[in-house]
Structure 1
């Protein structure tokens, strides 16, 4: 046994298996996300209001249904690559495309919501950080269809995450749900406020309080 330990030390090998998960980068945010200070100021400027009614909200696009935010993953820039594929290519590493296509068939995600690593795409979903139902209740019901399609496909609001965790979030707002990985609270709050401010949406008192708490977790800039 003593000889085995000596060999392990000399070769740099470990007698114990390494964990299969890793800690995700807690500061990874989409391009265009506000910094913490600007997010705090923007949050303070958002109008506070009770949530609007859900009347008229239909997300489903099948069988001629209302589809108020348009077909999912619309190719907004016309480059032939839909928004889901663009987010997967942006957020995953070791990305492999489908032959002759822009679709992503494999890659590795450092999931910011759980702090774990996920391989492959079958267990990965794209989250609308500000849920579409929350958009509807905070102003989108009065938007034009074109504005809603643009907001639903805004890359600043789309993050690749664990599908299981995304399902648990559903349409919940920050006062109802935050990522299990507490280290991502600051980044999540910044993304959320960025989108709310960009489209002039309202926040509820509870939503605003939860976002203030999330942004309070942001590290102060080095002096």
Structure 2
């Protein structure tokens, strides 16, 4: 048992779930409430997702980089969006001396219900994936709007890197947080972003969101 506890501590990510509690409701500022999310979802344009032609996220070696450099400092305060989300979502945050970068803190990961205590194991998820934004309207936007959308704090949530990688570019009909108690909050965030940017929604995607929003208390 001692060895198991040591392994958990060294890994920086607890293998044990957080204490059971009520429905998780940690969402970014500006997220629609459940009733507004349901109404707004019903008003979204329903359309088959477009193609990914022209979508290139990578910015290395002169590639297209259609959503701009990752974690752009949109408000010019010297702190990029990754640092801002970490400072918002983690507890016990310490920063690198003289810098905005977060060097330590603890995350109660809403997607998994586990605690992550190593910052390098934390990633920032775009709740509405950028590839999905591209397919549902962003392909026709000017570059400035895509950069703003990619760095919109309403669409960014700190989560464990492992679960973020498992999600990838999947939409709610393909993937929902393993922590079922976060389904309502996740769907509210998702709908908020779709509405804010006038993005379309696919039939299966809308059905999955409608189902998840029924779990809202």
Q: Same fold (TM over 0.5)?
A: yes
Q: How far apart, CA to CA, are the structure 1 residues paired with 2:27 and 2:70? A: 22
1:120 CA displacement: 1.9
Q: How far apart, CA to CA, are the structure 1 residues paired with 2:140 and 2:74? A: 21
Per-residue CA deviations over 1:58-80 (Å, capped at 9, x if unaligned) read 00000110000000000000000
Match of 1:175 among 166, 173, 176: 173
**Residue segments in structure 2 that go unaligned for 5+ positions in a row:** 1-14
Q: How far apart, CA to CA, are the structure 2 residues paired with 1:59 and 1:131? A: 11
TM-score using structure 2 length: 0.91
Task: Determine which structure has more spread, i.e. the larger CA radius of gyration.
Answer: 1
- RMSD between aligned alpha carbons? 1.1
1:122 CA displacement: 1.2
Q: How far apart, CA to CA, are the structure 1 residues paired with 2:89 and 2:98? A: 21
Q: How far apart, CA to CA, are the structure 1 residues paired with 2:214 and 2:77? A: 39
1:20 CA displacement: 5.0
Match of 2:85 in 1: 87
Match of 1:162 among 156, 160, 168: 160
Q: How far apart, CA to CA, are the structure 1 residues paired with 2:164 and 2:118? A: 16
Q: Secondary structure at the match of 2:120?
A: coil
Runs of 4+ in structure 1 displaced over 6 angstroms?
Answer: none
Q: How far apart, CA to CA, are the structure 2 residues paired with 1:63 and 1:188? A: 34
Q: Secondary structure at the match of 1:122?
A: helix
| Pairs within 5 Å for 1:53-202 | 53-202=51-200
1:22 CA displacement: 1.5
Q: Does 2:210 match 1:212? A: yes
**Residue segments in structure 1 that go unaligned for 5+ positions in a row:** 1-18
